[in-house]
Amino acid sequence: MHKKKKINGNSVKPLDTLAKFAKLEFSEGEKAAAAAYPFLATNYYLGLIGNDLRNDPVYRQCFPDRRELIRHKNLSTDPLCEEKQMPVPGLIHRYRDRIVLLVTNRCAVHCRFCFRKRKWKTGIANQDISDEYLQEAFKYIRRHERIKEVLISGGDPLMLETSRLKEIIDSLSKLKNIDVIRIGSRMPVVLPCRIDTRLVKMLSEVPGLWFLTHFNHPAELTDESAKACSMLTKAGIPVLNQTVLLKGINDDASVLEELFRGLARLQVKPHYLFHVDPAEGNAHFRTGVAKGLEIMEELRPRLSSICTPVFAVDLPEGGGKVPLQPDYRLGKKYLGINGRKILYP
Ligand code: SF4
């Protein structure tokens, strides 16, 4: 388990305070990136950063980088066209049977690779979903009986008070067509103390609830994050993990093997490994799909299916998720793995 440095409390620090704390000097490019996409992190998460600051996987996930300002015609502020797939403000309806409900644009940490950076970039106010929009969303779900599943997302939904979250979840649970409620949160990774007994009790009482979290690197597997996950699993809440493949952070089979094994040990199922979406501000994190496939091929003989996530890309223009696999079929009769070509009877 990664040993984290002790830092007082879990409050959030502005960039200048942090610069003093870490004795960092920021370049003009880094300051410009932070001006476009504000820096935000918890003291807990900053405490995971090791001595080799600028190469540290946690540092690189939360500190500004001048390359966030690269603009290119293939990059978009809304690469998955979510805003166009919102019949009701805050409700994304892309797939037939499920919707995403964005309940806040607030997060505990601003992840530099986030594909929803447009929601928290400079100039955008902190906002939680209003009662009016929630009622519209509930009406929409009721009207569309084929919707069976809701993903509560944001921002980070656990930025809401537990009582507010309970109101939303209770209302969703009462909708007859809803079988499954998913809640997507990075809190076990960036602020594990948010997973407290009151929250866990509330979530454990919701039928059909799944918890989706987002670990990207084994350095994020700490005693605290393990406790947060085990509080959820011991309460009977299934926990899945989504990882984003990040250039220079986790684009290495050994790093991911350690992460996925560590998660499975905590009974957290590695669910998806996502290729970075072509969002403005994220180009420098993109590995290319071929790199992801190469890593998956390397991991195949090293990890059981419990430890292995599905590698996927989200298609632009709201096309949806597409799972990708290395090509094991070599001609009509042969299968190949690890450079071997084997005749399949
Ligand atoms: S917590 Fe989630 S929504 Fe918030 S910045 Fe990180 S990835 Fe984006």
What 250-258 contacts at long range (C-beta under 8 Å, 24+ apart), as own/partner pairs, is: 250/57, 250/216, 250/217, 251/287, 251/291, 251/292, 251/295, 252/295, 253/295, 253/298, 253/299, 253/302, 255/217, 255/218, 256/295, 256/299, 257/299, 257/302, 257/303, 257/307, 258/218
Active site residue 277: yes
Pocket test for ligand 1, best of 37, 92, 109 (most atoms within 8 A of CB): 109
d(Cα 239, Cα 243) in Å, to the nearest integer? Answer: 13
Model confidence pLDDT, tens digit, residues 162-216: 999 999 999 999 999 999 999 999 999 999 999 999 999 999 999 999 999 999 9
Confidence of residue 308 (pLDDT cuts 50, 70, 90): very high
Q: Give how far Cα 40 sits from Cα of 56, 183, 257, Å.
A: 17, 22, 29
Closest to 326 in 3D by CA, of 339, 316, 342: 339
Confidence of residue 222 (pLDDT cuts 50, 70, 90): very high
Active site residue 98: yes
Mean pLDDT, range 287-311, rounded to an integer: 96
Tell me what pLDDT residue 22 has.
60
Burial class (CB in 10 A: 0-12, 13-18, 19+), 32: middle
Which one of 13, 59, 78, 114 is the catalytic residue? 114
- Work out the number of other CB atoms within 10 angstroms of the CB of residue 76: 17
Mean pLDDT, range 114-125, rounded to an integer: 95
* Ligand 1 atom 8 nearest Cα: 114
* Ligand 1 atom 7 nearest Cα: 114
pLDDT > 90 in the chain, percent? 81
Mean pLDDT, range 304-327, rounded to an integer: 92
CB-based contact 40:70 (threshold 8 Å): no
**Cα(186) to centroid of ligand 1, in Å?**
7
21-25, 32-36, 62-66, 129-133: segment of lowest average pLDDT = 21-25
Confidence of residue 13 (pLDDT cuts 50, 70, 90): low
Mean pLDDT, range 88-100, rounded to an integer: 96
- Alpha-carbon torsion angle 134, 135, 138, 144, nearest 10: -120
Active site residue 81: no
Pocket (CB within 6 angstroms of ligand 1): 107, 109-111, 114, 116, 154-156, 186
Whether residue 7 is predicted with pLDDT greater than 60 in this model: the reply is: no
Active site residue 62: no
Q: Three-state SS across 247-282?
A: CCCCCCHHHHHHHHHHHHHCCEEEEEEEECCCECCC
Domains belonging to the chain, first-starting first, are 15-69 (no CATH), 83-343 (3.20.20.70)
The rounded mean pLDDT for the chain is 92
Whether residue 43 is predicted with pLDDT greater than 70 in this model: the reply is: yes
d(Cα 83, Cα 105) in Å, to the nearest integer? Answer: 14
Residue 1 structure tokens: 């388990």
